[in-house]
Amino acid sequence: MVLKTAPMNYAQAAVLAVQREMQDDPRVVVLGEDVGRGGIFGQYKGLQDMFGPQRVIDTPISEAAIMGGGVGMALAGLRPVVEMRVVDFALCGMDEIVNQAAKNRYMFGGQGRVPLVARMPSGIWDASAAQHSQSLEAWFAHMPGLVVVCPSTPQDNYALLRASMQCGDPVIYMEHKTLWGMQGEVDETVQVPLGKAAKLREGADVTLVSWSRQVHVCAQACEQLAAQGVQVELIDLRTIWPWDREAVLASCAKTGRLLVVHEAVQAGGFGAEIAATVAEHLPCKIKRLGAPRIPVGYAPVLEAQARIGVEATVNAVMAIMQSTQKF
């Protein structure tokens, strides 16, 4: 009997997911800078040795060319995994993402499909400053035609990456830059559909919604709040678009209170979409918590100003608990 569950880190889970899809589907190819040597985070380690340089393709340093090539490959019948190194660099290829990949299916009546996965490591990267530390998931969620995924664990990185590679539409896949070494059990038999949230903790007092690395900050906050007698229901959204409205609304209907927490800048962040949707459907006390509208600084004291930590999350939950009784 072959065991399908093994301990591995977030990066190794991603390698395994791509390996399995490349073994199962000869149309799957990888292209990007440094993918042949395994990628800057080790997220492609060993794949060129397994599949050769014709399927794990090193490219020049041009995000526009890489993304444009990926779109062309997808339209020609391949299923490319397009490596952008970090989301900040993907901005150099935005025309290909926004005006080509996202719109092709609509503009050509479904005759053209762009089944690519654009991997864009996201979030604050320790001591890497403003041009390497952005959380831009709301940009891509705003664009019709794109799927947006933000896995928070090794298990989800494996299952959601496989689901993304099997999706028939372009997927913006945003792994957090500081999660690559995170360890966890990965069960290869687990399938996670796109658009399905995970309820990580049951609670009756307040619903806490987050995604990506911020989920782990929220989990620590939940432990502190439980010690104070506050029972938080924690939801990891996992997929930003489509997002699991039913799961969030069902939880808010039970608790009567919602706090959305994300690492991205609060102004115009995706938390506002969740808050507005809940407000339109339920009599619920709602708050959101995100970063201030400032660039992420290089100095530790400045970088800390852009982070949403455990203390801020606990304080926000206590504020919403004290400001009102349940509706």
List active site positions: 132
First to last CA, the chain: 53
Residue 231 · residue 281 · CB < 8 Å: no
**Tokens encoding 204:** 């009756």
Please state, in angstroms and rounded to a whole number, the distance separating the CA atoms of residues 76 and 25: 15
Q: Which amino acid is at 56?
A: V
Residue of 75, 80, 72, 77 lying closest to 29 (CA atoms): 80
**Tokens encoding 91:** 């901005």
> Regarding beta strands 5-9 and 183-187, do their DSSP bridges make them parallel or antiparallel, or are they unpaired?
antiparallel
Residue 100 Cα to chain centre, angstroms: 22
